[in-house]
Amino acid sequence: MASLSPVYLGTIISIGFLTLLIARWLLVSRVVDSADQFEQPKRTFVLEFFICVCAGFLIMSYQYIYLHFPLESTVSLLIGCIIAGFFIGLNSSLIKEREVIARASESGEYKFRSIHYSPITLKFTWIAATTFVFVCLVLIMVFSRDVEWLANTASDQGSIMNAQLSVIYEVLFIMGVLMILIFNLIISYSQNLKLLFNNQTVILEKVRQGDLTSKVPVATQDEFGVIAEHTNHMIDGLRHRFELMHSLKLAEEVQQNLIPTRDPAIENYDVSGMSMYCDQTGGDYYDYFTLPQGKLGIAVADACGHGIGAAMLMTTVRAFMISAVENYTDPARLLNEVNKWITRDCAASGNFTTMFFLELDPQTHHLRWVRAGHEPPLHYRRRENRVTALEGDGIVLGIDESYNFENQLTEVDTGDIILIGTDGIFETRNSENLLLGYDRVCDIITQDREQTATALQNAIVSEVKSFRGEVDQEDDITLVVIKVD
Selected residue with higher pLDDT from 1 and 368:
368
Q: How far is CA 96 from CA 17, 91, 203, in A?
A: 21, 9, 23
Rg of the chain over CA atoms, in angstroms?
44
Count of alpha carbons within 13 Å of 102, Cβ hemisphere only? Answer: 8
CA 440 to chain centre: 45
Cα separation, 223 vs 221, in Å, equals 7
446-468 residue pLDDT tens: 999 999 999 999 999 999 889 88
Domain ranges of the chain: 6-232, 263-484
431 pLDDT more than 60: yes
pLDDT of residue 5: 46
Selected residue with higher pLDDT from 348 and 304:
304
| CATH code of the domain occupying 263-484 | 3.60.40.10
Q: What is the mean pLDDT of residues 170-198?
A: 84
pLDDT score of 458: 93
CB 163 within 8 A of CB 149: yes
Q: Is the pLDDT of residue 72 over 70?
A: no
pLDDT tens digits for 209-266? 888 888 888 888 888 888 888 888 888 888 888 877 776 666 666 666 677 888 998 8
- Residue 280 burial class via C-beta count within 10 angstroms: exposed 0-12, middle 13-18, buried 19 and up: middle
- Average of pLDDT values for 66-86? 74
Q: What share of the chain is helix, strand, coil (3-state, %, to 5)?
A: 60, 15, 30
Average pLDDT over the chain, rounded to an integer: 81
**Segments in 262-330 forming alpha helices (H):** 308-324
- Predicted local distance difference test score (pLDDT) of residue 109: 62
Give the span between the Cα atoms of 208 and 160, in whole angstroms: 69
Residue pLDDT, tens place only, 276-333 = 877 655 578 899 999 998 899 999 988 876 666 677 778 888 889 999 999 999 999 9
Kindly tell me if the per-residue pLDDT of 4 is higher than 50.
no
10 Å Cβ neighbour count for 417? 23
Element (H, E) at 103: helix 75-107
What pLDDT, in 10s, does the model give residues 376-419? 999 999 999 999 999 888 899 988 889 999 999 998 999 999 99
Question: Which is higher by pLDDT, 56 or 147?
Answer: 56
Ramachandran assignment for 299, one of left (phi > 0), alpha (psi -120 to 50 degrees), beta (any other): beta
Number of H helices, E strands in the chain: 11, 10
Angle between helices 308-324 and 223-258 (to 10 degrees): 30
Output the pLDDT for position 299: 94
